[in-house]
Homo-oligomer: A and B are copies of this chain.
Amino acid sequence: MTYTLAEEDYLKAIYKIAERHGTPVSTSAISELMQTRPASVTDMLKKLADKELIDYKRYHGVSLTRTGARQATLLIRKHRLWECFLVEKLGFNWDEVHVIAEQLEHIQSDTLIDRLDDYLDNPKFDPHGDPIPDASGAYRMRYQILLSDLGLHQRAVLVGVREHTSSFLQYLDQNHLALGATLEVVEVLPYDGSVRLRLSDGEPFLISGQVARQLFVRQITEAT
């Protein structure tokens, strides 16, 4: 029941694609996310199918089996817990932790991850606002809508990001857009979906529709 680093990363990739775009997951989608050639993906899919971690029909994409999905969520659990550790304990910025956690997630030790979880006080969300599965693989989705779907004058709290690239996160930092920040939609430009925002006690500023579609928020229902 122990898998190689490559197998784990493929399972995680399939999981993430399925989560976002549904099932079945195509060879080319995996290829793009993993930065490998489609032929390499096909090779790996055969191996994962042999181990019954995925259901695979030639030319028709794949989906994770129960075992495969469980393995993927455990890897995600480890990834996100390590990210918490790096930010909370070692003082890393949220744009620096992904690449390191990409390595740390493969450390094999159940005890280690459980103790890390306790050490961090069993966090429910990682530094990017993503939910952390518990030891059984279960997690609850965060309530969220896209910032781009907010109406004029609505207020909301930033709870997550869709993009995880360093450059995007650094852009958010520069605009003081941190998780937990309260914001209000001051203006919506219909042509390109740009949105003018105001943070608590700050000057309004503009973000592109492109950016607005990468931000998850929880709407604040006004106390009547």
**Chain A residues within 8 Å of B, Cβ to Cβ:** 86, 89-92, 96, 99-100, 103-104, 107-109, 111-112, 115-116, 119
Contacts of A111 in B (CB 8 A): 92, 96
- Shortest A189–chain B CB gap in Å is 40
Q: In the bound complex, do residue A91 and residue B107 qualify as a contact, i.e. CB atoms below 8 Å apart? A: no
Q: In the bound complex, do residue A91 and residue B112 qualify as a contact, i.e. CB atoms below 8 Å apart? A: no
Q: In the bound complex, do residue B92 and residue A103 qualify as a contact, i.e. CB atoms below 8 Å apart? A: no
From B91, B104, B115, B116, give the contact of A115 (CB < 8 A). B91
- Shortest A109–chain B CB gap in Å is 5
Q: How far is it, in angstroms, between the C-alpha of A109 and the C-alpha of B99 when the chains are bound?
A: 9
Contacts of A108 in B (CB 8 A): 103
With A100-B109, A100-B112 known, 8 other A-B pairs at CB within 8 A are: A89-B119, A90-B116, A91-B115, A92-B111, A96-B111, A99-B109, A100-B107, A103-B108
Chain A to chain B contacts (Cβ below 8 Å), 19 pairs: A86-B112, A89-B119, A90-B112, A90-B115, A90-B116, A90-B119, A91-B115, A92-B111, A92-B115, A96-B111, A99-B109, A100-B107, A100-B109, A100-B112, A103-B107, A103-B108, A103-B109, A104-B104, A104-B107
- Shortest A37–chain B CB gap in Å is 22
In the complex, the chain B residue whose C-beta lies closest to that of A114 is B90
Q: How far is it, in angstroms, between the C-alpha of A103 and the C-alpha of B91 when the chains are bound?
A: 23
Contacts of A91 in B (CB 8 A): 115
Q: How far is it, in angstroms, between the C-alpha of A111 and the C-alpha of B97 when the chains are bound?
A: 11
- Shortest A101–chain B CB gap in Å is 10
Identify the 8 closest CB pairs spanning chains A and B, nearest first: A90-B115, A103-B107, A100-B109, A90-B119, A100-B112, A104-B107, A89-B119, A91-B115
Contacts of A89 in B (CB 8 A): 119
Q: How far is it, in angstroms, between the C-alpha of A103 and the C-alpha of B111 when the chains are bound?
A: 14
Contacts of A115 in B (CB 8 A): 90-92
Q: How far is it, in angstroms, between the C-alpha of A115 and the C-alpha of B90 when the chains are bound?
A: 6
- Shortest A208–chain B CB gap in Å is 31
Q: How far is it, in angstroms, between the C-alpha of A100 and the C-alpha of B96 when the chains are bound?
A: 24
- Shortest A185–chain B CB gap in Å is 37
